[in-house]
Amino acid sequence: HWGGAVMWRGVTWAKPMRTGASFVGLGTHRHRVVVYPISHPDPNTGLALINWIAEVTMDNSEGWKQTGWFRQVPVSKFAHHFAGWTYEWLDVPALIAGADGAYENPMIDRDPVPTWVDGPVALMGDAAHAMYPTGSNGASQAIVDARVLGASLLAHGVTPAALSAYDEKLCGPISQVILRNRGAGPFGLLNLVDERCGGTFSNIDDVIPPAEREAFMAGYKKAAGFAIEQLNTAPRTIADGARVDAAKAA
C-alpha cells in the first residue's frame, strides 16, 4: 500500500536546534520535514550529526513506478520542494544542501492481517506489521516483538500456546498503529494546526490549547506503547538470567 508520499533521507553536520535534543516536525502530511540530532555535539565545533527526512505527497494513481524501495539520489532532485523553508532557528535548504547524499523511499506499508501465527510459525517485525516509518516505531516495535515472544516462551514453553499468547497481546493493538500511521501518526497534530489556521499564528495556545495537544499525543503514545508513565513503571519484560523450561517444550 503506497499512499503517495515519498521521503528523502539524509544526515548533515549542523548545530542542534531548540533544546539541542529537540525532535522537530514542520509542515503537514502532504509536505513536511522532520529533523532531529543523532549524536552529541562535537565539543570543539558545537556541531552534531542531524538526521533529516523531507517528504512530499504526490499523485499515486498509477502506483510506485521506480525500481526498488530504496535508492540514492542527488539532493538537487527534491531540494526545490523546500526552498524558502528558512527560519531564525532552522535553515532547511542549508541543512539539505549540507548532506553528502540522500536516499529516496516511498512510504510503503501493508494492510494489517488478522493473525501473525500460522501453526508453528510466527511473524515478527516488518514481516508482521510493515508500517509507515512515522514515530520511529517500525524498528522499535520489532524489538518489542522479540521481548514479548521471549516472555511468552518463558511462560508457556516452546509450544503453540506461547505463539498464541504473543499473537493475542500484540497483533490487534499494533494493527491499529499501522492504520494510525497512515493518518500521519503523531504528526496529525500538525494537520490540525493547518486546518485551523493555515499554519499561521502568533500563539499556538490560541490554535490548540495545551490540554488538547497533550491529549492528542497521549492517545498516540498509548496506542504505540510509548506512554511514558506506563513504560517507566512497567517491570522488565524478561527477567535477567531467565531461561525457557525444556520440560515445557512441545
Of 142, 133, 39, 52, nearest to 97 by C-alpha is: 52
Rg (CA), the chain: 21
Mode of pairing for the β-strands spanning 102-108 and 71-73: antiparallel
Rounded Cα gap, residues 27 and 22, in angstroms: 16
Distance of CA 182 to the CA centre of its chain: 11
DSSP assignment of 92-123: HHHHHHTSS-EEEEEEE-----S-SEETTEE-
Task: With beta carbons less than 8 A apart as the criterion, state whether 115 and 175 touch.
Answer: no
Chain centroid to Cα 225, Å, comes to 13
Pairing of strands 2-14, 48-57: antiparallel
H helices of the chain, where? 92-97, 126-129, 137-156, 160-182, 188-197, 204-207, 210-224, 228-233
- The three cell numbers locating residue 50: 542531524
Residues labelled as active-site residues: 36
Question: Which uninterrupted H or E stretch holds 46?
Answer: none
